[in-house]
């Protein structure tokens, strides 16, 4: 049995040298300001989470990924683990309680509970009248507005590790993550390990945490769910118009099957927009796949070298 079963990914915490620049990028990417202090910026999506991205002021650095615990009891269980902090009160907008841990690569992992919720933001939506379901928006006119994507929520985080097996064991044994897909190279080496939350019978995203190999530990990318395909396309055009640094997309993934779009921010942090993922529950056994050639999806741009090699310390 794992120590706890995390119920969600809460936020990513990074450090950046310019909060104005960070806020401008994240607004163009479809997030909204939740709070800002002299030292940090807290950005939200349109769902009820107080923040899904924290940027602290200072030299660029990946600081932590944060997961959500189901109860404060779970925080106390984690606080007993070797090297864990005690259960702390979070001295930040949104409040809540937290335990800080280190994974085997030395990355800080925060586990939080009780952060304030905020009023969700509703957006106009135009469902597809496709050939099979041709009346989803019967009687209405679809008038799409140009602008940034509507980021709804944080979906997953991706870390790079020089030693994957202890990292995977740690995340699965500490936070209860379950294996969804593992991809092997022709020599049998594990090259992609996709993990999802264990919420029992409830269906969750195909992956909340992906681990891939690389010479130095760090953050590869952070991924946000946007409203739908139109919203992803509108956001892509908005980023092009803003002179953004496109990394990879638009295409559809094999593993998780999301439609994706990847961009680099001014501080070399990589972010993804996605929509339409596979969703599995705890009954799914996971798949091991030996066909790494399928890293490129069924359609869309070929994967660029810098996507695979990216790791932000």
Per CB under 5 A, residues contacting Fe ion are 223, 272
Choose between 223 and 233: whose C-beta lies nearer to Fe ion.
223
Q: How far is the CB of 9 from Fe ion (least distance, A)?
A: 12
Alpha-carbon dihedral of residues 295, 299, 305, 311, nearest 10 degrees? -70
Tell the smallest beta-carbon distance from residue 272 to Fe ion (Å): 5
Block residue for tokens 């919720």: 117
Q: How far is the CB of 159 from Fe ion (least distance, A)?
A: 12
Identify the CA nearest to 180 among candidates 199, 167, 164, 193. 193
* Cβ distance to Fe ion smaller for residue 29 or 78: 29
Closest to Fe ion by CB, 223 vs 259, is 223
Q: Minimum distance from CB of 196 to Fe ion (Å)?
A: 13
Q: Closest distance between Fe ion and the C-beta of residue 122, in Å? A: 26
Return the number of the residue (54 or 223) whose C-beta is nearest Fe ion: 223
The rounded distance, in Å, linking the Cα atoms of 178 and 206 is 10
Considering the complex, state which of residue 50 and residue 156 has its C-beta at the smaller distance from Fe ion: 156
- From the centroid of its chain, how far is CA 300? 21
Residue 221: CB minimum distance to Fe ion, A: 6
The CB-nearest residue to Fe ion is 223
Between residues 74 and 272, which has the closer beta carbon with respect to Fe ion? 272
Whole-number minimum distance, CB 156 to Fe ion, in Å?
Answer: 6
Q: Hey, is 193 helix, strand or coil?
A: strand
* Burial call 74-83: b when 16+ CB within 10 Å, e when fewer: bbebbbeeee
Residue 162 CB, shortest distance to Fe ion, in Å, is: 20
Query: Does residue 206 contact residue 198 with C-beta atoms inside 8 Å?
Result: no
Mention every residue, 6+ apart, whose C-beta is less than 8 A from residue 212. 158, 159, 160, 161, 164, 191, 192, 193, 220, 308
Q: Which residues contact 116 (CB under 8 A, 6 or more apart)?
A: 50, 94, 95, 96
Structure tokens given for 102: 């280190």
Q: Each residue of 275-303: b (16+ CB within 10 Å) or e? A: bebbebebebeeeeeeeeeebebeebbeb
Strand partners, 274: 225, 260
Q: Which is nearer to Fe ion, 121 or 292 (CB)?
A: 292
Which residues does residue 92 pair with via DSSP β-bridges, in sequence order? none
Question: Is the CB of 168 or the CB of 208 nearer to Fe ion?
Answer: 208
Q: Is 188 exposed, middle or buried (0-12, 13-18, 19+ CB in 10 A)?
A: exposed
| Residue length of the chain | 313
């Amino acid at each position: 049995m794992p120590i706890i079963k995390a119920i969600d990914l809460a936020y990513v915490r990074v450090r950046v040298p310019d909060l104005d620049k960070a806020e401008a990028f994240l607004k163009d990417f479809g997030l909204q300001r939740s709070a800002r202090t002299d030292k940090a910026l807290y950005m939200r999506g349109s769902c009820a989470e107080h923040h899904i991205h924290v940027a602290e002021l200072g030299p660029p650095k990946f600081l932590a990924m944060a997961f959500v615990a189901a109860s404060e009891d779970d925080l106390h269980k984690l606080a007993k683990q070797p090297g864990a902090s005690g259960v702390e009160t979070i001295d930040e907008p949104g409040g809540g309680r937290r335990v800080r841990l280190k994974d085997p690569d030395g990355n800080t992992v925060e586990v939080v509970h009780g952060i304030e919720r905020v009023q969700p933001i509703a957006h106009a939506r135009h469902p597809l009248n496709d050939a099979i379901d041709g009346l989803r928006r019967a009687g209405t006119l679809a008038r799409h507005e140009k602008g940034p994507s509507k980021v709804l929520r944080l979906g997953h985080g991706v870390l790079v590790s020089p030693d994957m097996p202890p990292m995977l064991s740690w995340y699965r044994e500490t936070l209860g993550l379950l294996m969804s897909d593992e991809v092997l190279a022709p020599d049998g080496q594990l090259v992609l390990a996709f993990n999802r939350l264990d919420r029992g019978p409830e269906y969750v995203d195909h992956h909340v945490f992906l681990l891939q190999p690389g010479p130095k530990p760090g953050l590869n990318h952070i991924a946000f769910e946007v409203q739908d395909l139109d919203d992803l396309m509108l956001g892509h055009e908005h980023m092009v118009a803003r002179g953004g640094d496109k990394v990879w997309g638009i295409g559809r993934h094999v593993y998780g099957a999301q439609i994706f779009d990847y961009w680099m921010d001014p501080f070399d942090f990589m972010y993804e927009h996605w929509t339409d993922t596979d969703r599995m529950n705890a009954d799914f056994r996971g798949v091991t796949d030996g066909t790494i050639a399928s890293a490129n999806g069924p359609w869309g741009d070929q994967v660029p070298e810098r996507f695979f090699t990216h790791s932000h310390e």
